[in-house]
Structure 1
């Protein structure tokens, strides 16, 4: 029996994500909140992202000029796992010892012990995310990680790569390359996820990175030498636009590099910081919100399939009256949800 939802009315704050009345069983899309930002090396707080997105989501308007009624398919956000929140707080203290250290970890027993604890805890969280995504995919649902820092979707990418073994790639929106090798010794640093995925998940055919504008020389050389990476640096994108090149042409070129089955990993700092001023590592430049929407639509129009996605690094302001970051995040999350289902022919385009 289809639930009766008034899309023109005010969402209920007492209901689930986006004010919807669904539960996990009757939802096509299940958002997995992962309140984890242990290895964040600049501004902490992204562990509060999932809760902030949930709280802001009741402000959504479901009518969309591009996609038809994604909300009718059932959208549900799980409750945050208390053990992850507790472990995050505990391990953040351990990680801070290393972040603040003025000496090498190797040879310092205190720092070595702290690093091992953090790496073991990160693996525990990754294993949980992977197992949860495995379970939901087996049930025919679309699991979506909502971070947390950018280390959190690693298990999800592994899970999707197992299901879509052939012709599978990652579309990565970010200010950062995230191809550092165990940054600061953290094996699953937020700055290392794409390096880890490229090294540990051989079935990923292609990584297409968009908006990259903050990276080290090692990362630049790594992605340049790897045939798996196509990088659209923000500097190059801006030059092309400033010289008068149509963004439609740029978007089609980006999408042409992607295989048939696509997982989107979206770090909110891929956007211009005016859309996410409190994110953990903001960088000048970046994509406009509508440019991202245009690329998503271009993916759908191309006939490619968005099999899954994540949204990470949304960090709320310390001011409770300022929901801007979460507001942008929840709208982007809904837009990606719609594009994902449209690409899978679950819903129609308007």
Structure 2
């Protein structure tokens, strides 16, 4: 999950990359004992095996890479720390199961993290998933930002294929109300400022703007990921390829030496009939933060003022798409962890500027 702050986690915390795309984070003193206990209890629950890496990250989920004692392939063990995190993992598990059952393309199904074992109702709750190959997109692009356009093209090909299998068009205003209602309620419930006069005015203006832009006209709907940031995509790093294989065109056609998508993870915010533009706009906003250090709030305010969200790697997207992606992002973060509501910098840079901009805009005439 992306936080919208400027410094990537692996630079901020001195994290080192390990095989399979995990980030090995030295445990902080505050949570070390509790996390070690979680891992010990999970090990007792799952049986003998060897822990190979532990990733703490920003969410309330402890993620470990574990190799079973029988020599089988490694797996990811996800240990939620809070009730919100348990519910997020339940949503992720169920969304992947339902989506996989609806896909005809085996290529798309191979990008999904399949569940190996689910014990989310146990104590401790645990979700075990297969390890997908590849390097997280934020890691890859921080090392090689020149690959951003090629990575975006690969990511959008996945979205096009997903839209082709699950997409359609809708004019149903009730669908729009369903997209907005719960997410706006999360902001109002979790963030005290959103219940102030200014915050309430911003939420009302946000709802009015999006209903005006999205109702009464065809809106493309499809299975949406909901947090389609580079860090939730795994890529094949072209630097790892056989140099002879990527040297140039072959008899079968031009060589594909770009960073192809090898996996898409963290489906907790997925929706079967979501607005298709959300994932494209989310990827564009995440690139703006990752490559340029521009917060999500700054980018969305700019899109509102200029009439478009534009990046050279992703093209031009409407401000309604930027607002939907922002709403998915902030509500998803707040729903997964209450820590965001206490993070003053995140509120100041990501959430508050957008609602203030909307509240200050004159109401449309007529």
Superposed pair shares fold, TM > 0.5: no
Give the alignment's TM-score, normalised by structure 2.
Answer: 0.27
Q: Determine which structure has more spread, i.e. the larger CA radius of gyration.
A: 2
User: Greater helix percent: which structure?
Assistant: 2
